[in-house]
Each structure stands twice: as C-alpha cells, then as structure tokens.
Amino acid sequence: MYLKTQSRYSEDIDLVQINTEPIKETMERIRKALYFLGKPVIKQKVHNNTLLFRFNSEIPPIKPIRLKVEINTREHFNVLGLIQQDFNVNSNWYSGACKTTTYQLEELLGTKIRALYQRRKGRDLFDLWKALSTHTPDIDKIIRCYREYIGFVVDNPPTQKEYLLNMELKLQDEEFLGDTEMLLHPEESYNPQEAWALVRKKLIEKL
C-alpha cells in the first residue's frame, strides 16, 4: 500500500477483522474470490483464521508455491483511525483498481516494532528500515501505536534494554539474518546491520 516499489516478495496476505462479528461469511467471500487457486486448507484458531492455497507456478521451472491468507480476528481496534487507500493492479492477466480500508502508515509501523520483538523474522527489520528510508512518518505516532499494540498482548511490555538485548541476539542468528535472502528484489541493496542502526536510532531508542 505505502511502498509503491515492491522491494520484497510476500507469500502472505494479512488481514484484520475490524468488526466484531462471525468470520465465516468473510472467509467464504475470500474463497470465492480466489476460486482459481483451488480449494484451500482452512485452519481456525481462537484469534486467527487462515486459508492456505497450494498450486504450481506458471513460469518454468514449475515449482509448488503457496499463498496464505491470514485473518487476525482478535484486534478489533485501531489507534489512529482507518483510512481509504487507492490500490491498483496492472499485470498481463489482470488490471483493476479499488479503494481499500487500511491503517495509517504509523500504525502499521507500530505493529511492525511489536513483530520485530516477538518474532524471529528478518523481514520485519527490513520493512521498518525500508519505510524509514523512503518516508518521513511521525515517530511519536509510531511509538504510541506500538505501546498500544504491545500492551494488548502482554502485561509487562519489554523495556528498551530488553528490546535491545533481544535484537543483539537476533543479529547474531543465521535464521534471522537469512530470512530475507529469497524475498528481496534482485536490485534491492540491503544490509541488516545498517538497517538496525537506523531503526534503533529512529525508533527503539525512543521507547
């Protein structure tokens, strides 16, 4: 939505249920919209529902690939207010445009700070670095959103010291550092250590 040049591949479509209501109808509409991918495997948990599609790539060499549509059915709230964002697709097999309900950039980045702490996914660091490198978001709003979202899932949010230690360990972890190897555009130049230096200075040192 915000990073117009797609710098990395994502095999997931992450959605959030913004209204408290049964999710069955929403999942059925998604399944019908993606009927051409075949019948999905549906996994339902207390706080999220997932549709997992498996199919073969269209470009040789043919490889099995997957698409995961994951719906967060727990966090029916927002901090900064929802907005309508233009979304366009223009490819060889489909073109179209629509208005999409989404979050403000600062709110998305606030949830990314939470994800960076909780997960061992180097892509979270990349996304934060890319957004800070290409946009000028309101840092105070990002921190405010992070605090709201981390406070929603844990009683005792990590201190700045705990966050820095968490990242110090991850930056020595091969799984974390190698997470983006197959995801980034060939022309994308990325250094995790330099990315962390920027994210730390702009965001984490303000926690």
Domain boundary among the residues 44, 78, 103 is at 103
Q: Which domain holds residue 17?
A: 12-103
- Which tokens sit at 139? 């840092």
197 and 133 both lie in a single domain:
yes
Residue 6 is predicted with a pLDDT of 77
End-to-end CA distance of the chain: 26
Residue 82 is predicted with a pLDDT of 98
Residue 91's pLDDT band (boundaries 50, 70, 90)? confident
Query: Within a domain: residue 70?
Result: yes
81 and 125 both lie in a single domain:
no
Q: Using a pLDDT cut of 90, give the percent of the chain over it.
A: 82
Residue by residue, DSSP assigns the chain as ----S--B--SEEEEE--S-S-SHHHHHHHHHHTGGG-PPEEEE-SSEEEEEEEEE-SSSSP-EEEEEEEEE-S----SS-EEEEEEEEE-SS-EEEEEEEEE-HHHHHHHHHHHHHHS--HHHHHHHHHHHHH----HHHHHHHHHHHHHHH-SSPPPHHHHHHHHHHHTT-HHHHTTTTTTB-TT----HHHHHHHHHHHTGGG-
Residue 174 is predicted with a pLDDT of 96
- Which amino acid makes up residue 207? L
Residue 187 has pLDDT above 90, yes or no: no
| Residue among 170, 160, 162 at smallest CA distance from 195 | 170
113 and 98 both lie in a single domain:
no
Domain boundary among the residues 103, 123, 154 is at 103
Residue 43 is predicted with a pLDDT of 95
Number of domains in the chain: 2
State CA 159 to chain mean position distance: 23
Peptide bond preceding 61 in cis form (omega within 30 of 0): yes
CA–CA gap between residue 77 and residue 37 (Å, rounded): 31
pLDDT in tens, 35-78: 999 999 999 998 999 999 999 988 788 989 899 999 999 999 99
59 and 39 both lie in a single domain:
yes
| Residue among 90, 131, 92 at smallest CA distance from 8 | 131
pTM over 0.85: yes
77 and 140 both lie in a single domain:
no
The mean pLDDT of 23-29, rounded to a whole number, is 95
CA–CA gap between residue 190 and residue 139 (Å, rounded): 22
Query: Within a domain: residue 184?
Result: yes
The mean pLDDT of 25-30, rounded to a whole number, is 96
85 and 125 both lie in a single domain:
no
96 and 137 both lie in a single domain:
no
CA–CA gap between residue 27 and residue 70 (Å, rounded): 10
The mean pLDDT of 168-197, rounded to a whole number, is 94
193 and 135 both lie in a single domain:
yes
User: CA dist 78 to 4, 15, 48, 118, 198, Å?
Assistant: 23, 13, 17, 20, 26
Query: Within a domain: residue 6?
Result: no
Query: Within a domain: residue 26?
Result: yes
Query: Within a domain: residue 25?
Result: yes
pLDDT in tens, 97-151: 999 999 999 999 999 999 999 999 999 999 999 999 999 999 999 999 999 999 9
Query: Within a domain: residue 139?
Result: yes
- What is the average pLDDT score of the chain? 94
Residue 92 is predicted with a pLDDT of 84
Residue 59 is predicted with a pLDDT of 78
51 and 135 both lie in a single domain:
no
61 and 122 both lie in a single domain:
no
Domain boundary among the residues 53, 88, 103 is at 103
